Structure 1
């Protein structure tokens, strides 16, 4: 069933975080007109398609240190792996989670993923539970969660729940570039007035589910 999303007017992408106003329109590579490249913990540009990355928490302390991102059953607790599946953060720090691939709305000539660019996120393995492993937003009991079942490409009203983007927030304690995940598919559907919100950790049945939240989930990319 197609999710029902309420859209709100949006003029300028600015986020208040840690008392700092982040405006993605200013995040550009000084040597070009393109937005800044997303980089992994080795300082290498993150690339689209047949490149695999683990999304890990930017900091190892705080309320949700944990590990990388994986999958669990929607209905059960953190140990349940029955279908259908949802996107969760592993509770054990040593667990990397599952590798992912990224597909921007417009295929870049240099293959590099850039900040403030609408893209699809896919777990890097074949369809499971009879559905694609592409992220999509779905509403359950008044909350928006990141589940599976999206599709790659085909931007428009029918796929508006499948698109996410990364914004740089600063440096981690280890000196890595850290990012947040944002749902704000402005370039995907020009006729849609979309609501822009952070993707963060939402607790449910002992699971650290990903969903729309006030506080962002700050991440780094490991290859």
Structure 2
């Protein structure tokens, strides 16, 4: 009995002493902060693609998340972890991603995964739920992982311990209107972040 108790205490100590995942960094080397506004730009700075925006033009609803075809910064976004009191966004942890402002579809600006009938695949759209981690909000949680030249988004929520989830990278595909949409499973796209209210060091060569 004493051996079992000691073993259990060892497991608890190990769980609490495990190091926290590494923080996500912006392009200036600063930690991504909860609630702060950032622009998301492609890691490959070739001047052909830019930041992310909501495809709500001509009331295309539900609105998707797309990448600009120019070097424009797109719309600013914020990140919210499962525990909103955590001030730093870390790798491999569940986060909500939310555009600032509003959209013409009168939906929330929180990212979510939804099947796009036109594209015939799962895509990243707005209209998700902020906070309240659990099975009902499963499709509104993403993770950020490191790549060779930046970061990628992954749909692999762990906010529900008993839910079956197929983990997939977020990539880019062209929709019927010619927009470069964020979708699941088309090969990961690599991005970098810079603070929206600072003078970014991001530049197009």
* Equivalent pair of 2:172/2:186 in contact (CA under 8 Å): no
Structure 1 residue 108, shift from structure 2 partner: 4.7
Residue 184 of structure 1: aligned partner? 156
Do residues 143 (structure 1) and 129 (structure 2) align?
no
Inter-partner Cα distance in structure 2 for 1:135 and 1:36? 23
Inter-partner Cα distance in structure 1 for 2:68 and 2:152? 17
1:87-126, aligned counterparts within 5 Å?
87-93=65-71, 95-109=72-86, 111-126=87-102
Larger radius of gyration: 2
Structure 1 residue 191, shift from structure 2 partner: 1.0
Structure 1 residue 34, shift from structure 2 partner: 0.6
Do residues 44 (structure 1) and 21 (structure 2) align?
no
TM-score by length of 1: 0.73
Cα deviation, 1:136-157, whole Å, max 9, x if unaligned, reads 1110233001111111111111
Higher helix share: 2
Structure 1 residue 214, shift from structure 2 partner: 3.4
SS at match of 1:194: coil
SS at match of 2:59: coil
* Equivalent pair of 2:59/2:104 in contact (CA under 8 Å): no
Residue 33 of structure 1: aligned partner? 19
Residue 131 of structure 2: aligned partner? 153
Any unmatched runs of 5+ in structure 2?
A: 1-17, 196-205
Inter-partner Cα distance in structure 1 for 2:65 and 2:93? 21
Residue 193 of structure 1: aligned partner? 164
Which of 7, 19, 42 pairs up with 1:57? Answer: 42
Higher strand share: 1
Structure 1 residue 72, shift from structure 2 partner: 1.5
Residue 76 of structure 1: aligned partner? none
* Equivalent pair of 1:57/1:65 in contact (CA under 8 Å): no
Do residues 221 (structure 1) and 199 (structure 2) align?
no
Inter-partner Cα distance in structure 1 for 2:99 and 2:43? 20
